[in-house]
Amino acid sequence: MASHYIYPIKTNDRSGVMYLNGEGKYTIYLAGELSKPLTIADPKDVIKFYINSSLSTVLTTKRDRLVFSNWLGTTMFNLVKKDISYDEKGQAKIYPGSSFYANGKFYRTQSDKTSSILTFDENFKLLSTTAFKLTPRYLESGAGTTMTGGVVRFWGFNNYQNTNSLQVTSLDLSK
């Protein structure tokens, strides 16, 4: 049977794609590991809902869980148990949402009276909170968010008086 759908996927050290190869069957190919694809069985067909919801998909460092995340919330699919994580009420367990993933960590921007970035590990344990003196509009991801080393960059467009210029706001999280 031919692969039907392709979905982007991230890890802490590379990117790749996930193919839907049939009902409840997926294959992940990662850059630099094309000869060793990871095959996933999803007998309850729950992955389809999450990947069709346009959530960011991350394969954890140990390659044992898929994490589906957006700013509202995060759900994990355990590759060994072949199912998502559930809470004590039997509902899908929802972890904190994230704005982006880089270097094996999830980051969430938070804009109340002060602006900050919360850093979570792959188990969604809060590692740190970094406050910044920026107004909330500077923390909006706009065109995208990238991270190199400890510096996060928020890319966006400034359309002031039809200038349509690129705007980059950089924050150093390593300090």
Is the dihedral angle over the CA atoms 5, 82, 121, 129 positive or is it negative?
Answer: positive
User: How much is the pLDDT for 1?
Assistant: 47
The DSSP secondary-structure symbol of 160 reads: G
User: How much is the pLDDT for 155?
Assistant: 78
Taking the model in full, what pTM does it have?
0.77
Residue ending a domain, among 84, 109, 134, is 84
pLDDT digits (tens, 9 = 90+) for 161-174: 777 777 777 888 87
Same domain, 65 and 105: no
Q: Which domain holds residue 104?
A: 100-172
pLDDT digits (tens, 9 = 90+) for 118-144: 899 998 899 998 887 765 555 554 557
Q: Does 74 fall in a domain?
A: yes
| Cα–Cα distance measured from residue 108 to residue 121, given in angstroms and rounded to the nearest whole number | 12
The total number of structural domains that make up the chain: 2
pLDDT digits (tens, 9 = 90+) for 41-60: 888 888 888 887 777 889 99
Give the pLDDT mean for 14-40: 89
Same domain, 72 and 120: no
pLDDT digits (tens, 9 = 90+) for 87-115: 888 888 888 888 888 888 998 887 766 77
| Cα–Cα distance measured from residue 14 to residue 35, given in angstroms and rounded to the nearest whole number | 15
List C-alpha distances in Å: 67 to 36, 109, 113, 162: 21, 18, 30, 39
Residue type, 171: L
| Cα–Cα distance measured from residue 95 to residue 75, given in angstroms and rounded to the nearest whole number | 6
Helix (H, G, I), strand (E, B) or coil at 75: strand
Q: Does 90 fall in a domain?
A: no
| Cα–Cα distance measured from residue 127 to residue 163, given in angstroms and rounded to the nearest whole number | 40
